[in-house]
Amino acid sequence: MKINRIIDLLPNYKASYSRPDVLVAKRNGKWESVTIDEFISAADELSYGLMQAGIGPDDKVAIISSNCPEWNFVDFAIAQIGAVSVPVYPTMNAGETAFILQDADVKIAFVYDNDQYQKVHALQPQLPVLKSIYTFKKEADLPHWLDIRKEGAAHPQKEKLDALKAAVKPDQMLTLIYTSGTTGTPKGVMLSHSNLITNVIASGEVCPVNHHHKVLSFLPLSHIFERMLTYLYIYVGAGIYYAESLETIGDNLKEVKPFAFSTVPRLLEKVYDKIVAKGHELTGVKRSLFFLALDLGHRYELDGKNGLWYEMQLRIANKLIFSKWREALGGQVGVIVSGSAALQPRLARVFTAAGINVLEGYGLTETSPVITVNRLDKGMRAFGSVGPVIRDVEVKIEPDGEILCKGPNVMLGYYKRPDLTAEVMTDGWFHTGDIGMMSGDLLRITDRKKEIFKTSGGKYIAPQQMENKFKESIYIEQMMVVGENRKHPSALIVPNFVLLREWAKSEGLTFSSNEDLCKNPAVIALFQSEVDTYNAGFSNYEMIKKFALIPAEWSTNSGELTPKLSLKRRVLLDQYTDVINAFYE
C-alpha cells in the first residue's frame, strides 16, 4: 500500500506482518504484548474520544510521559483526526513545561502519573486553553486515559473518523516538538507527516532491523530520535519492547534479548565504564586477558584491514572476553544506533570488535532527524564518521565549515517564529549550526558552530572534540572546556567517582566525601597526569592549562544537562563563574 503519512503505518503493519508483539511493556513483573489489532482499536477509540472532547484538525494535544504503549496509542489517535501532538519531556521543570503548553495552545494533556498530573494541574491557572489532563497510570480520583477511550468507544463516529483520516495531507503538521536547547527559550519545530515518513522510508532502506527482530526502547519518545525510530520499527515490522527505566536496562536487555537498541553517547560511555571497572576488579590471568582484549578492541579496523595475526587474537578474545560483553547486553544484540551527540570513536571501535556493531548517525529535530547514518555494508561506515547521506537528502559544506541540509525531511519552520525560521533557511537549505567535512561519501562532525570559541590570542577552540578525547580517560566522567576570550583553555572535570574511590583506597588515602577526594593533592596529581597525557594530542594553544575537579555529577535533574544529556554550557558557565575566573587570576 502507498505510505505517505504516518497514519498509514498501522494499516500497512496489519497487511504486511503477523507478529503478536508490536508494542510490549512490563506490567506487574510480566511482559505484556499489544497486537496490531489492539493497537488500531486503541487508537481509533481514542480518536473518537478526542472528537467527543471537541478536538479536531490542527488542535494541539500534549504527551508528557515516559515510554509506554499508551504513548503510541495517543500519538496515532491525535494524528488520525488531523490534530497535532506536542511531546514534552517529563523531566522538564514547571517553567519550561508551562512555556511549551502556553506557546503551543495545548487543549488536552496526557501525562504518565500523579507527579506529572500535579505539575501540570498547578499550571492550569496560567493556561486558559488547557481543558483537561489524563494520566496513563491509574491514579485514585484522577482522570485516566481509559476514561476518554471508553467515552470514544461509547460514541463511535466511524464515518467521521474515516473522513478525517482521508483529509490528512502529507504536508500537514503532524507534531510540534520544542527543542530543549542548551541556551535560550525553546523553539517549536513544526514537522509534517511527509517530513517523518520520508525519513522513515529512506532510513528503512539501510536499516539492518527487520520483522524478525525485537528492539529495546528506552530513549525518550519526546525526542525526535526515538520517535522516528519507533515509526521505523513499525514500518519494518519489528517488535518494540519498552525498558522499565534507565536503571533496569541491564536486566531488561537480558530478559528481552533484543537485536538492536538506540542510545546516546553518554549512556554508551557509562556501559563501557562499567565493563572496564569490572575488568579492574579481576586478578591474575583473567585481568591480563581482559586488558589484552580491550587493547585489541581499541585497535580494531573495519573491512578486513586488521591482518591475519590480529584476527586470530580477536577470535580468542571474542571467545574468552567479548562473549561476556554480548551476554551482558542480552546475547543477541547485533546493532546499537547512537545519535544526538558526538560519539567517541574508540567506543564504536571496541564494541564493533566485540561483535556489537555501533552505527552512529547524525541529524537534528529540524531534519526529522536523520541526515546521515553509518551502514553495515563495506565502505559505508567509518569510526569517527556519521556515515553517508540518506536518499533524497542533500548536504553541502559552507566555506566556514557549517553543514547545510536540504530535503523532504527539513521542517516546515518554527512555530509562530517566522523570524527564526528565516535565520536558518536559505533557498531551501537548512543551516544546522554544526561544523563538519566530507571524507569521500562519509560525513564527519567536528563541533557545534555556536560552541566553538576564540581565545584572547585569536585561536579557535573546538570544545566538544577535546572533551570527547579527554573522556577516554577512565577517571574522567564529564568535562567542559572553557576559555572564550581568555588566555588559554581550561576545564571543569567531573571524576568517575567509582573508579576514583577504588584508586584512592589502593593508595591508602583517607576521605569521607567526594569533596575530600577532589581536594586531595594526590588526586589532583592523578588528574594532572591524565590531563598531560591527553594534552599531548593537541596543539599548544589547545592544551588545557588549568582544571578544577567538580564533586557532583551533572544531570538533567540538577539542570546542567539537556534531556538528551548534552551539556547546558551557559548554565555551567554561570554556575561555575568563580571557579572559571580563578583559572585566569
Q: Which residue has the cell 571474542?
A: 318
Q: Which residue has the cell 494533556?
A: 109
More confident residue, 530 or 459: 530
pLDDT value, residue 273? 85
pLDDT value, residue 181? 53
Q: Which residue has the cell 566530507?
A: 438
Determine the Cα–Cα distance for residues 2 and 189; give it in Å rounded to an integer: 26
Distances, alpha carbon 163 to alpha carbons 2, 79, 168, 173, 413, in Å? 18, 13, 9, 17, 27
Determine the Cα–Cα distance for residues 154 and 45; give it in Å rounded to an integer: 9
pLDDT digits (tens, 9 = 90+) for 88-109: 999 888 888 999 999 999 999 9
pLDDT value, residue 288? 95
The angle at the Cα of 181, spanning 176 to 186, to the nearest 5 degrees, equals 45
pLDDT value, residue 452? 82
Query: Of 22, 48, 279, 310, which is closest to residue 162 (Cα–Cα)?
Result: 48
pLDDT value, residue 482? 94
pLDDT value, residue 523? 96
Determine the Cα–Cα distance for residues 585 and 578; give it in Å rounded to an integer: 11
More confident residue, 458 or 141: 141
Q: Does position 130 have pLDDT exceeding 60, yes or no?
A: yes
Q: Does position 183 have pLDDT exceeding 80, yes or no?
A: no
pLDDT digits (tens, 9 = 90+) for 225-245: 999 999 999 999 999 999 999
pLDDT digits (tens, 9 = 90+) for 319-370: 999 999 999 999 999 999 998 777 889 899 999 999 999 999 999 999 999 9
pLDDT value, residue 483? 92
Helices 308-317 and 284-298: crossing angle in degrees, nearest 10, is 130
Task: Tell me the β-bridge partners of 363.
Answer: 370
Are 1-34+194-391 and 36-168 the same fold in CATH? yes
Q: Is the peptide bond before 208 cis (omega within 30 degrees of 0)?
A: no
pLDDT value, residue 291? 95
pLDDT digits (tens, 9 = 90+) for 543-554: 999 999 999 999
Topology annotation, domain 1-34+194-391: Rossmann fold (3.40.50)
Contacts 24+ apart (CB under 8 A), 555-563: 556/91, 557/91, 559/93, 562/180, 562/181, 562/182, 563/89, 563/91, 563/92, 563/180, 563/220, 563/222, 563/223
Average pLDDT of the residues in 173-194: 86
pLDDT digits (tens, 9 = 90+) for 250-308: 999 999 999 999 998 888 988 898 898 889 889 999 999 999 999 999 999 998 889 99
More confident residue, 238 or 559: 238
Q: Does position 180 have pLDDT exceeding 70, yes or no?
A: no
184 pLDDT band, cuts 50/70/90, is low
Determine the Cα–Cα distance for residues 481 and 113; give it in Å rounded to an integer: 38
Q: Which residue has the cell 567535512?
A: 437
Residue 522, amino acid? A
pLDDT value, residue 447? 78
SS3 for 274-291 is: HHHHHHHHCCHHHHHHHH
Average pLDDT of the residues in 482-497: 93
pLDDT value, residue 264? 87
Q: Which residue has the cell 480518536?
A: 47
pLDDT digits (tens, 9 = 90+) for 203-230: 999 999 999 999 999 999 999 999 999 9
pLDDT value, residue 274? 87
Query: Of 12, 9, 3, 38, which is closest to residue 24 (Cα–Cα)?
Result: 38
Query: Of 222, 219, 224, which is closest to residue 242 (Cα–Cα)?
Result: 219
CATH code: domain 453-583 is 3.30.300.30
Answer whether CATH 3.40.718.10 is correct for domain 36-168. Answer: no
**Residue-range domain boundaries for the chain:** 1-34+194-391, 36-168, 453-583
Q: Does position 110 have pLDDT exceeding 80, yes or no?
A: yes
585 pLDDT band, cuts 50/70/90, is confident
Q: Does position 421 have pLDDT exceeding 80, yes or no?
A: yes
What are the counts of helices (DSSP H) followed by strands (DSSP E) for the chain? 22, 25
pLDDT value, residue 458? 81
Q: What integer best gives the mean pLDDT of the chain?
A: 94
SS3 for 200-259 is: HHHHHCCCCCCCCCEEEECCCCCCHHHHHHHHHHHHHCCEEEECCCHHHHHHHHHHHCCC
Determine the Cα–Cα distance for residues 70 and 23; give it in Å rounded to an integer: 10
Q: Which residue has the cell 527505566?
A: 245
Q: Which residue has the cell 566525601?
A: 513
Average pLDDT of the residues in 123-132: 96
Distances, alpha carbon 379 to alpha carbons 80, 382, 403, in Å? 41, 8, 22
Classify strands 402-406 and 394-397 as parallel, antiparallel or unpaired.
antiparallel
